Amino acid sequence: MKRFFIILALLVMPLVAVNAQDNRNRATSTIVSDALAQMPAETPAVYNQVMAELAATGAEGIEMLAMMLEPMAEGVNNSPVEYAVNGVASYVTKEGAAMRDGVRAGLKAAIAKTTNNPNKAFLMTALQICATGDDAHFFAEYLKDSYMANFAARALASVKGTDHAVEHLMAEQAENGISKVLLAQIASYKSHFHDGEPILIEWLNGATPELKTQIYTALGAWGGEPAAKVLAAAAKEAGYTFDSTNAYGAYIRLLNGHLMRHDEKAVEKAAKQLLKVEKPNVRIAGLDLLAQIKGEAIMPLVLKAIKGDCRDYRYGALRVAEQFATETTYAAVAATLPKASDDAKIDILSWLGANHAEKQVVAIAPFVASANDEIATTAIAAASKIGGDIALKALINRMVKEQNSKAVEEALVAGLLSFNGKINDEFVRVMDTNSSARAIAKQVLSSRRIPAAASKVLVWVDNGGDDTAIPALTTNAVEANFAALCNLFEQGKPMGDAILKAIQEKPASEQAKMIQDRMAKAGAKKHIYYPILAATGAKEAVEPIVTGYKSSTGEAQAAAFEGLCTLNDDSVLPTLLEAAANPALKEKALARFIALTQSSTTLSNDQKYMNYRKAIEAEPSNTLKNRALSALSPTQTYPAMMLAAEYMDAEATAQAAANTVLEIATKHPEFYSAEVKALLEKVAATVNDGDAVYKRKDIENFINDNKAREGVSILTPLSAEEQKEGFELLFDGQNMDAWTGNLEAYQPMNGYMYVTAAYGTTGNLYTKKEYADFVLRFEFCFDRDGVNNGIGIRTPMGVDAAYHGMEIQVLHHDSPIYKNLREYQVHGSVYGIIPAKRIKWGALGEWHQEEIRVKGDRITVTVDGQVIVDGNIRTATKGHNVAPDGSDKNPYTVDKLNHPGLFNKKGHIGLCGHGEGIKYRNIRVKEL
């Protein structure tokens, strides 16, 4: 509803906007309260509209708005004002200065008047968003306020154009007494703040550690030469270690900042100092600075680092070199390979590879053959990243080398699989060379498809009997292999996937035909093809497999069952359920039944619910029960929630059940009631996984948010009076145990039974028990115009109650669609036999009471206290429920039709739905 309103609002908005200022002529207070009513704005369009109106109220309106904040306490709701204030402050930053000035002025006035600190801080945060340099002095006023100082400092640090004012405050610190720490901290967010530099340096005399930190940080951000001297000394004193004064960090930042300002000489000198420090990270920082100044000219230092034995520094130096690296750099690094230590070799090789130093592949390739595994594997990885003929040749040579270690073998497989370029021809040429090559080839080919390799792999499996090559064959099979693969399959080799792979390019129906042709020739082995036939996914596969399953036994049936479980077709669901009756197949059949239901795109959520219910009630293993219980969750239906709730007690199913209840209940506040609250509390006590804490929080929040409904019980228990009279409940709002038949289209929802015909199934709902003479009482409610339903009495199941028993009409007969209604069709009529007195229905959604009394041949129907039928079926038809002449025209009934079941002595009570939109509740019956 809310969304609809907004769409409507958007449609009419242009008109409103045009008239806002002139014609609507709203007072400022009205604009403010209109805006608050729309907070938070649901869409950016509404936001822009409302904020434009608010901003236009200027200082007066904004102050008025801001002053509506109340000190926070239980029950206070500042949200709308906060949305409006924060929203308008953000909004005006993209608008003209005039609007912005008004908002600033309004906020400042409100801040000055607000006494509650958190509210004041909020307003200052809002002002910070839209403030300008002109507000510096306003913020400065609060630097000595213990609560507000941090907020004021934050604003001064953040707002552009306040630099000069801050420098001024620093210069006059002795007079204004503002905290040096705060001022230095603000200064640290500024840039090119040179007037402040001598002041901060002077403040270092006798500074507390806390003040030092802020000063160093500020000097590091923008300091000049004097700051550099100060920080160099401080960093040295700190031993170039990070400590709470941040001297080292600030110094590095300053040096990098100086570089940006091209103060290269001084930085170079400082960087060289850093290189002497015995800490790899500090030396790297120094080298990094030098690299920025001198570029490739620092290569001697990099080469020296490579030769050194500190790996941290070596790789750091190589990384630094990346910022200027050219082919010359790579060549220089590669040239150190022969004399480098083993550790260094590994670092160099991996670095060249990571940087794709193409030309250095010549230097890398020889190391592929290294006897040191770590060097060899690094070289293999580097060569594969670079790619090209030289790299490939090195890999191929290593592949055919006898007796590679496991590590080298793995590196070769990974290298060949990710090789930067085509490996096919060379690879196929050598894959058969020796056992070493073959071992690698089998691994590569199990994930890489190289069609040219297929015939060789087939030979390995077929003639060579090498079953370890089957994965490679499976990946690479081509159509030409089809017959050979089928032969192997019939010999008992696991070739199913390979066969499918071989023919996969063909349309599914053609695949199915090829398999069926082969089956026809396979004699006694025919059945082994069922799973493959199923996997083709062809429509044509369904019928033969279902038939195969139903008509065979033993091994053949098992294979057909296998196929049945592979078919991805909703039409096999009933067969799977049938198969579940066989204890040997039960588990697998139900597993598939559940999975197929889950993945179905044609079943409705209610049909899915029914399937899961059937699966659970078939008593499979707990694993499957849990799977079905979890699968109930996405159906998001009320009955699914109630079904899951029943399984929270058993320990083995408690978790899955509880999660499903949680997932459904908390997404549907409309389901909420005292009973659902109890369920959620049970869920909270039950869940025990890693997220349990969050889940309990969710439940707590949900229960808090829906307090209004928690007293509502959906249950309608029998009154004491009726209980005394001997009534029993058929439906208490939840429990459907008394009923059977179409439980899909008659669902307990939130205290009533909802009837719908949208569920794709037909059929009625019946009491399990049969009744002869009785009083039936219930309440009903029409949810939509023209609903048609009926109460079957004394009726057998599965037939039309109006003729094979009796049907007491239930009809929203006031609908214009029934203007030609016959008298024996109005609500309450014993359909076709005794017309009822027509009553006038009220509005849709109103509940009505009805009683149907059936005693011998007398039928009495009372609606809302008014008797609308009181007649005798035998008298009404003069005893002729069927035509005496045996024809299908019966002159004795009002509808001129035969009613063979009219005089049944007893039968079920049924609900006979013909469409969506009626609710029943509080159904109870008394036998007479």
Partner 1 sequence: MAINRKEFLKSLGGLAALTIIPRRVLGGPGHIAPNDQLTKGIIGMGGIGFSENHFSSNEQCRLVAVCDVDDLHLQKGVSLSKERLGETVKGYHLYRDLINDPNVDVVHIATPPHWHGLMAVEAAKAGKDIWCEKPMTRTIGEGKRVMEAVRQNGRIFRLNTWFRFKDTFYGLGTTVQPLKKLVDSGLLGWPLKVTISGYTGFNWKFFWVGKENLVEQPIPKNLDYDLWLGPAPYKPYNEHRTHQTFRGYWDYDGGGLGDMGQHYIDPVQYILGKDDTSPVKVEVDAPEQHWDAIGTWRKIVYTYADGCQIILQGEQHGDPTAPYIEGPNGKLYQGFRCELNGQPAFNIMDKLAELPDPEPQNTDFIKCIHSREKFALNEINGFRSATIVNMGLCALRLNRTLEFDPVKLQFINDDAANALIDQPMRGPWTF
Binders in 73-132 for partner 1, by CB under 8 A:
73-74, 76-79, 82-83, 85-87, 90, 93-94, 118, 121-122, 125-126, 128-130
Q: Are 284 and 320 in contact (CB under 8 A)?
A: yes
Structure tokens at 665: 């209940």
Stretch that binds partner 1, among 162-170, 328-336, 419-427, 738-746 (CB under 8 A): 419-427
Number of residues in contact with partner 1 under rule CB under 8 A: 102
Question: Does 381 engage in binding with partner 1 (CB under 8 A)?
Answer: yes
The smaller minimum CB distance to partner 1, of residues 143 and 863, is found at: 143
Closest C-alpha among 770, 836, 835 to residue 805: 770
Q: How far is the CB of 378 from partner 1 (least distance, A)?
A: 9
Distances in whole angstroms, Cα of residue 707 to Cα of each of 194, 594, 669, 784: 61, 37, 10, 29
Helix (H) / strand (E) element for 430: namely helix 424-430
Q: How far apart are CA 139 and CA 166, in angstroms?
A: 10
Q: Can you tell me the distance from the alpha carbon of 645 to that of 321, in angstroms, rounded to the nearest whole number?
A: 64
Amino acid at 106: G
Q: How far is the CB of 419 from partner 1 (least distance, A)?
A: 6
Minimum CB distance to partner 1, residue 288 (Å): 6
Residue numbers 887-916 binding partner 1 by CB under 8 A: none
Q: Which is nearer to partner 1, 78 or 756 (CB)?
A: 78
Closer residue to partner 1 (CB): 308 or 786: 308
Question: What does the chain come to in residues?
Answer: 928
**Shortest Å, Cβ 429 to partner 1:** 18
Number of other CB atoms surrounding residue 894 within 10 Å: 19
Q: Does 151 interact with partner 1 (rule: CB under 8 A)? A: yes
* Binding residue (CB under 8 A) for partner 1 from 62, 157, 165, 291: 157
Kindly identify the residues of this chain, within the stretch 655-694, that bind partner 1 according to CB under 8 A: 693-694
Residue choice 56, 414, 522, 718 for contact with partner 1 (CB under 8 A): 414
Task: Specify the DSSP class assigned to residue 830.
Answer: B
User: Among residues 120, 385, 398, 442, which is the contact residue for partner 1, using CB under 8 A?
Assistant: 385
Is residue 3 involved in binding partner 1 (CB under 8 A)?
A: no
Interaction of residue 61 with partner 1, rule CB under 8 A: no
Cis amide prior to 44 (ω within 30 degrees): no
What residue spans of 647-691 are helical by DSSP H?
Answer: 651-665, 674-686
Piece in contact with partner 1 (CB under 8 A), picked from 54-62, 433-441, 449-457, 615-623: 449-457
How buried is residue 412: exposed, middle or buried, by Cβ count under 10 Å (0-12/13-18/19+)? Answer: buried
Place of tokens 């109106």: 53
CB of 220 to partner 1, least distance (A): 9
The DSSP annotation for 56-72 comes to HTHHHHHHHHHTT----
Phi-psi region of 101 (alpha: psi -120 to 50; beta: other; left: phi over 0): alpha
Q: Nearer to partner 1 by C-beta: 222 or 248?
A: 248
Nearest to 587 by CA among 565, 611, 569, 557: 565
Q: Is 472 in the site for partner 1 (CB under 8 A)?
A: no
Q: Which is nearer to partner 1, 315 or 920 (CB)?
A: 315
Nearer to partner 1, 128 or 557 (CB): 128
CA distance 911 to 787: 13
Rounded CA-CA distance 505/508 in Å is 9
And the tokens for 4? 């609809």
Q: Which is nearer to partner 1, 662 or 852 (CB)?
A: 662
Q: Which of residues 587-646 bind partner 1 (CB under 8 A)?
A: none
Longest dimension (CA), the chain: 124
Least distance in Å: CB of 397 to partner 1? 20
Please say which residue, 421 or 845, places its beta carbon nearer to partner 1: 421
Q: Which of 23, 29, 397, 418 binds partner 1 (CB under 8 A)?
A: 418
Shortest approach of partner 1 to residue 552 CB, angstroms? 30
At 110, which helix (H) or strand (E)? Answer: helix 97-113
> How far apart are CB 284 and partner 1 at their closest, in Å?
3
Site for partner 1 contains 505 (CB under 8 A): yes
- Is residue 448 a contact point for partner 1 (CB under 8 A)? yes
CA 569/CA 377 separation, integer angstroms: 49
Least separation, in Å, of the C-beta of 555 and partner 1? Answer: 31
DSSP string over 381-419: HHHHHH-SHHHHHHHHHHHTSSS--HHHHHHHHHHHHT-
Which residues in 159-198 contact partner 1 (CB under 8 A)?
159-160, 181-182, 185, 188-189
- Among all chains, which residue has been given the structure tokens 């609560």? 147
Determine, following the binding rule CB under 8 A, whether residue 804 of this chain makes contact with partner 1.
no
Closer residue to partner 1, CB minimum distance, 498 or 811:
498
**Binding of residue 866 to partner 1 (CB under 8 A):** no
94 or 840: whose CB is closer to partner 1?
A: 94
Does 135 bind partner 1 (CB under 8 A)? Our answer is no
Selected binder of partner 1 within 347, 409, 606, 850 (CB under 8 A): 347
Alpha helices in 668-750 (DSSP H): 674-686, 692-705, 720-725
Query: Do residues 742 and 809 make contact, with C-beta atoms less than 8 angstroms apart?
Result: no
**CB nearer to partner 1: pick between 82 and 675:** 82
43 binds partner 1 (CB under 8 A): yes
* One residue of 39, 68, 201, 558 binding partner 1 per CB under 8 A: 39
Considering the complex, what minimum distance in angstroms separates the CB of residue 87 from partner 1?
Answer: 6
Question: Contacts with partner 1 in 230-289 (CB under 8 A)?
Answer: 241-244, 246, 248-249, 252, 256, 278-282, 284-285, 288
Q: Could you please report the per-residue DSSP string of 151-178? A: HHHHHHHHSTT-HHHHHHHHHTHHHH--
* Least distance to partner 1, CB of residue 749, Å: 21
Which one of 410-418, 543-551, 648-656, 826-834 is the stretch in contact with partner 1 (CB under 8 A)?
410-418
Cβ neighbours around 598 below 10 Å, total: 17
Which of 183/579 has CB closer to partner 1?
183
Distances (CA, A) of 621 to 590, 593, 649: 10, 14, 16
Q: Which of 485, 582, 925 minimizes the C-alpha distance to 730?
A: 925
Taking CB under 8 A as the criterion, the residue among 138, 222, 315, 549 binding partner 1 is 315
Give Cβ neighbours of residue 651 (< 8 Å, ≥ 6 apart). Answer: none
Q: How far is the CB of 188 from partner 1 (least distance, A)?
A: 6
**What one-character DSSP code corresponds to residue 834?**
B
